[in-house]
Amino acid sequence: MPSLDVARRRLRLSDAHLSVLGLFVEEERLPAELSSALAELREAGLIDADGKIVADLYPLVSTLMAPRVIVRVEVTGPLGVSSNGAVIGDEFIFSHEAWPGSAESEYVPAEPETLVWSLARMVDLHRDFADEVDSSEVIASTMGLFDQVVERMEAGESGEPEAVAEATGAPVRLAEVLAQLNCMWRITVVWKGAAQTDSPGGLSVTALSVWDCGIEGYWLRELPAEPVSDGQVEAGSDLRVRRTSAKELWGLITDLLPDGAQLAAAQPQTTP
């Protein structure tokens, strides 16, 4: 069920609830498949008896309807893929986090100064288990071999990395690292920037893909290079990952975002 925590301005909403709210704002016809979501919003008191969206929803709805920057955070782990992120508008910033298996996400207001912290928390960026990190260690292979190793690890062969490497033809080090895989995560940032000749609609896109491998540490995927478009990666595509640190990743997450002037919420313009 959707819900609102007025004291902390938190909201729990599903994609269906957001679709209903967007259609209400644009005064468009509501399709039958969204009738249940509409009923839930009414039951939760988020749409009043007159069919109006309650005032507490307007900061989020206005931001979602006219975003300046969209951040998507995909985390792939044992429970599947969770979609998280943030949306930045002219006046407000909201972060949102999903719970695996739940249709609803929690939307929370954020400030420009806390956005990197929020994104780091979404991917559980934590201190390195090892005292020292060899950031020069690189593993090279192909995406096809990577998929084969992951399939065998998921089938219960994580305790035998050398045997997996021999069976697939993958580097032993790749199998050792993937045997400790906790999750993979990707952060993608999209905003309307200077015209990009290779990007439709003049959109600017930055992205980062990382493996969190527990005691084997963090690994930054350098190839295939992000951002990756649909159909770009094949079995024969080169794979290259480099050992990295939480400190370096914090800086890389920061660098994904537009500069401070673009991130800061714009002040409303007044007519003298």
Q: Which has the closest alpha carbon to 20: 57, 49, 55?
A: 57
**pLDDT for the residue numbered 57:** 93
Q: Who's near 45: CB < 8 A, 6+ residues apart?
A: 4, 54
**pLDDT for the residue numbered 195:** 43
Residue 203 tokens, joined: 């959109």
Least confident among 17-26, 160-169, 194-203? 194-203
Cis peptide before 272 (omega within 30 of 0): no
Q: Which of 24-28, 97-101, 247-251 has the highest mean pLDDT?
A: 247-251
Mean pLDDT, range 260-267, rounded to an integer: 46
Q: Which has the closest alpha carbon to 51: 24, 26, 32, 17?
A: 24
Q: What is the pLDDT of residues 112-158, one digit of tens each?
A: 899 999 999 999 999 876 656 667 899 999 999 999 999 999 999 88
Q: What is the 3-state secondary structure (H, E, C) of 15-59?
A: HHHHHHHHHHHCCCCCCHHHHHHHHHHHHCCCECCCCCECHHHHH
Give the dihedral sign, CA 155/158/163/165.
Answer: positive
**pLDDT for the residue numbered 131:** 58
Strand, coil or helix: 81: strand
Please say if the pLDDT value at position 269 is more than 50: no
Which amino acid, residue 231?
G
Please list the residues that pair with 110 across neighbouring strands. Answer: 93
Q: How confident is the model at residue 230 (pLDDT cuts 50, 70, 90)?
A: confident
Q: How confident is the model at residue 106 (pLDDT cuts 50, 70, 90)?
A: very high
**For residue 192, what is the enclosing H or E element?**
strand 183-192
Query: Which has more pLDDT, 130 or 217?
Result: 217
Mean pLDDT, range 173-181, rounded to an integer: 96
Query: Which has more pLDDT, 107 or 264?
Result: 107
Q: Between the CA of residue 35 and those of 19, 20, 38, 57, 143, what are the distances in Å?
A: 11, 9, 5, 19, 43
For the chain, the maximum distance between any two Cα atoms, rounded to a whole number of angstroms, is 74
**pLDDT for the residue numbered 129:** 67
* HSE-CB for 147 with a 13 A CA cutoff: 9
Please say if the pLDDT value at position 82 is more than 70: yes
Kindly give the residue spans of alpha helices, DSSP state H, lying in the chain. 15-25, 35-43, 58-65, 115-122, 143-152, 161-168, 172-178, 246-256, 260-263
How far apart are the C-alpha atoms of 27 and 63, rounded to whole Å? 17
Q: Between the CA of residue 250 and those of 153, 174, 234, what are the distances in Å?
A: 29, 24, 30
Mean pLDDT, range 213-220, rounded to an integer: 94
Please list the residues that pair with 212 across neighbouring strands. Answer: 183, 218
Q: Which long-range contacts (CB under 8 A, 24 or more apart) does 255-261 make?
A: 255/206, 256/187, 256/189, 256/206, 256/207, 256/208, 257/69, 257/71, 257/115, 257/116, 257/189, 257/206, 258/69, 258/189, 258/191, 258/193, 258/204, 260/112
